[in-house]
Amino acid sequence: MSLGFSDLPVVNKEDDIFEVSNYVNALSAFIKECTTPMTIAIQGTWGAGKTSLMNLIREELGNSVDSIWFNTWQYSQFNMEDELTLTLLSSLSEALEPEQSQRANIGKSILSLASRTALKIGVSTASHFLGEEVGEALQDAGSEAKSIITKNKEQDLSPVQAVKVLKKQFQEAVLNKIGKSSKDRLVFFIDDLDRLNPGKAVEVLEILKLFLDCDKCVFVLAIDYSVVSQGVRVKYGDSIDDSKGRSFFDKIIQVPFKMPTAQYNLKNYVGKFLESIDIKNPSEQMLSNYSQLIEYSIGSNPRAMKRIFNAYLLLSKVTKIKGEQSDWDKEMLFAVLCLQLSFEELYLYLAKNLDECNSQEFMERLYNIDSYRDAEDGDEDNESSILTDDNLKLIGKKYDDQKLRNLLKFMNVFVKVIDQNCDGDLSEDELNGFKGVIDVSSITAAVDNVEVSAKATYSEEDNLQRSLPQIQQIYLHLKEKVSTLDNTSFDPKKVYIAMKVKGHSFALVIFRKKKVELFLIMPFGALNDPKELFSKIGTVQGKVGWNYLLEMRNESDLDYVFEMLKQSYNLANKDNRN
């Protein structure tokens, strides 16, 4: 069986895996019934499926109309871009299959127009219409070439008149072609305009504009509007604002059609991918997870999806684990690859800091907005996140609001995927499985490093400075008491200070502006707290974790808090717990 997903466009409806037939049928019906001339823009980013949609439209139209296809991208290669406009005119004209006399007249008009404008004449174009003599002279690019072209142009025609003559000849050739086939219209499909240099794309559109209003013609253009807008500024200067760029676009296009990527049947495509990795009859939840991971990361761009599917297949082959993975392993790997491709800064941060990915609390804050954005002044006591990480905030600054919203949605699904048994609790095995996948996925990373670290090491002072002086004193006095216990140490991290015994953490201290948050690391249900000062944040009886939280704003219960701390200290000292 062939492995991988080709980037070739769809050519027939049997391969319409995204189920866009409703749009194909509607556009085809419009093209057959609309008044002419008409120009339709199929708009979308690279890889959105514009060529596939036009292929399906052309197939649906069948023999009901005459059609001509022109790919601007293939003509822009091999240094042909400078003569692209003339190549386009000559190729479109030749596709009309004009009579010999019409063909010669059109060729002369094209070259005559070029000689009076800044359009460059290619050897192949001149040779095609006027013979080898002209082509060879052009190749020398000397006075002889100019002389030959001069002999073939009407000296008394201005550029405007030359355009009128060429347009008339083009119209006659159109009517002649559809007259022979007894069709009532001719449809031109112009593909890949947005792959051109933006300024060149605008130049091609301006040339096309000369012929877009020819009777009996429908032009279907595949293009990304942003390329047109950029090209207008390149060609006419930065003083051209977005509204003028839109006006340029609107003057050429009568019917804008945006690729319906949001309506693509992602589950259908995901199902095909899952079948290729030997996942038969996936559950609705699994299909939903895969589809949401795609939607919130790379989006529904077919080329991006093929890229990530192929990355997965490659990774499975390289690591020689294909066929040995559980469905959860495959889902986890796919989630990590989506993270790698769309949120590379966060992926690299996690890959370089795997030791921090050891708790549910850490993973859950990866989909908390407060982890990436600074809290508003005065909101310190209302933060919903447990931790504040300067590195995550640096990452958050790299993303605009929309991308950050997508990241939060993505990470919410991501954490659900890690939760293999769907019990709402991340076990040590599940977290280790996630870290293992992160580790092995590095071979498909596009870059080796992205700087997202705020500092390499952190001190106690880095943590203390987040709080007011009176809040700092609460910690310092508590530290004095804890220091009387045997084998204790204090380990400053980026966002907290860990209290340890023999290297094993038994408590964490997080500094807010107006409070200190003290977490006891011990089995849930093990704390004897008669005053019930500590909040219970754990959920699984007997599981070790950050299960108890106390927010300290004063020292009124400091001795009592120390006694609670000793319970966690004693358990950690006894168990040698991490």
* Pair of tokens at residue 186: 């001719």
3-state secondary structure of 190: strand
For 265-281, what is the mean pLDDT?
A: 85
Q: Which residues contact 572 (CB under 8 A, 6 or more apart)?
A: 500, 501, 504, 505, 506, 521, 522
Phi-psi region at 34: left, alpha or beta (left = phi > 0; alpha = psi -120 to 50): beta
3-state secondary structure of 382: helix
What is the DSSP secondary structure assignment for residue 499, as one 8-state letter? E
* Pair of tokens at residue 288: 């939903």
Share of the chain above pLDDT 70, in %: 80
Say if residue 245's pLDDT is above 80: no
Q: Write out pLDDT tens, residues 436-473.
A: 888 777 665 654 444 444 445 678 998 898 889 999 99
Q: Which residues contact 534 (CB under 8 A, 6 or more apart)?
A: 520, 527, 548, 549, 550, 564
Q: Write out pLDDT tens, residues 160-206.
A: 777 788 888 888 888 988 888 889 999 999 998 888 878 888 888 88
Q: State the amino acid at position 210 in one-letter form.
A: L
Q: Write out pLDDT tens, residues 521-571.
A: 888 889 999 999 998 876 667 677 778 899 999 999 999 999 999 999 999
**Cα(464)–Cα(476) distance, integer angstroms:** 9
Please report the pLDDT score of residue 83 as a whole number: 66
406-429 core/surface letters (b: 16 or more CB in 10 A; e: else) = bbbbbbebbbbbbbbeeeeebbee
Phi-psi region at 118: left, alpha or beta (left = phi > 0; alpha = psi -120 to 50): alpha
Report the candidate in 95, 80, 43 with the shortest Cα–Cα distance to residue 211. 95
Q: Write out pLDDT tens, residues 289-298.
A: 999 999 999 8
Q: Is the dihedral of CA 443, 447, 450, 456 positive or negative?
A: positive
Share of the chain above pLDDT 90, in %: 29
* Pair of tokens at residue 3: 């492995």
DSSP string, 84-141: HHHHHHHHHHHHT---HHHHHHHHHHHHHHHHTSSPPPPHHHHHHHH-HHHHHHHHHT
pTM of the prediction? 0.66
**Cα(422)–Cα(438) distance, integer angstroms:** 20
For 120-137, what is the mean pLDDT?
A: 44
